[in-house]
């Protein structure tokens, strides 16, 4: 098989296996037992490492090595995986030399606490931008995917890629998600939006929207301090392909991926409309002015 498969071929090849991973994650959720916490984790979400994370990554790695053995791959659990050393590289490549990334359980804390809004996120990255992202919600039996310049789509886990419908996020709730470290702008938005601060509003008992709420209509915007390639930047790419506005925190276009460090874009504003984006941008500008 070609060492440079198309993005669609990669997604089509991996989708059946990702569906198996989704069924496994759904089955295991009530039974999950946490493994030792990740070292140097900055918050309790990042510290949550489960059996499902490692097992799902191992499954995807085996499929990739057996089908596209020359492809680049970076998985969140690369330090725990015995397969990392077999991939040609874990970094971004040159134009057309794709990097596949995987967050085996995005929202691990949500997953461990029994919430339904965790996801399996797989992305295909070029040197400058995302080429494709697929985000599977096992407990909700749905998945979203986007291809660069071709839009975003939504379907159930029984559907193949072609059967999915275009994703149109309409009537988004007037709720804004603030990622870790962004609570300083909460008071500037509460007169117009329900503000959800992930650091203070998370509950083990009551489910709150995760960032994937931008795809379900549970959020009309989000402000994220760091756009990790594995998760938040990937979900923002799907939203952008669905017609949302995605910029850096100062309103600038997103930089090319190869200029970024630590597999992360700078902070992100993700907004359903120009008016929501302006509100979030104004809040960030007010914060910057107050810190001068």
Please state the residue numbers annotated as binding site for Mg(2+): 76, 103, 105-106, 231
- Mark the binding-site residues, compressed into ranges: 76, 103, 105-106, 231
Structure tokens of 260?
């970024």
For 241-272, b/e burial (b = at least 16 CB within 10 A) is bbebbbbbbeeeebeebeebeebbbbbbbbbb
Positive or negative, the Cα torsion across 67, 72, 78, 84?
positive
Residue 192 in contact with residue 234, Cβ under 8 Å?
no
Q: Which helix (H) or strand (E) holds 134?
A: strand 130-137
Question: How many other CB atoms are found less than 10 A from the CB of residue 124?
Answer: 25
What whole-number distance in Å separates Cα of residue 235 and Cα of residue 229?
Answer: 9
Angle between helices 51-67 and 7-28 (to 10 degrees): 150
């Amino acid at each position: 098989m070609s060492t440079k498969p198309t993005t669609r071929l990669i997604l089509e090849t991996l989708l059946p296996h990702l569906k198996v991973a989704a069924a496994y994650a759904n089955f295991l959720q009530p039974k999950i037992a946490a493994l030792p916490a990740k070292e140097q984790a900055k918050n309790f979400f990042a510290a949550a490492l489960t059996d499902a994370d490692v097992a799902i990554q191992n499954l995807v790695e085996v499929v990739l090595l057996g089908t596209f053995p020359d492809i680049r791959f970076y998985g969140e659990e690369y330090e725990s995986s015995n397969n990392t050393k077999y991939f040609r590289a874990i970094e971004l490549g040159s134009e057309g030399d794709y990097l596949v990334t995987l967050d085996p359980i995005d929202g691990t804390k949500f997953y461990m606490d029994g919430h339904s809004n965790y996801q399996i996120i797989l992305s295909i990255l070029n040197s400058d931008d995302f080429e494709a992202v697929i985000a599977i919600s096992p407990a909700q039996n749905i998945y979203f995917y986007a291809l660069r310049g071709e839009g975003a789509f939504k379907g159930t886990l029984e559907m193949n890629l072609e059967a999915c419908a275009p994703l149109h996020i309409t009537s988004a709730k007037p709720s804004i998600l603030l990622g870790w470290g962004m609570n300083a702008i909460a008071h500037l938005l509460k007169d117009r939006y329900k503000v959800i601060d992930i650091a203070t509003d998370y509950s083990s008992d009551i489910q709150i929207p995760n960032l994937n709420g931008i795809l379900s209509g549970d959020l009309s915007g989000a402000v994220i301090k760091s756009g990790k390639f594995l998760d938040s930047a990937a979900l923002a790419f799907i939203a952008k392909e669905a017609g949302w506005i995605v910029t850096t925190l100062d309103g600038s276009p997103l930089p090319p991926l190869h200029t970024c460090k630590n597999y992360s874009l700078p902070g992100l504003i993700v907004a359903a409309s120009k008016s929501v984006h302006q509100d979030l941008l104004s809040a960030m500008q007010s914060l910057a002015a107050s810190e001068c």
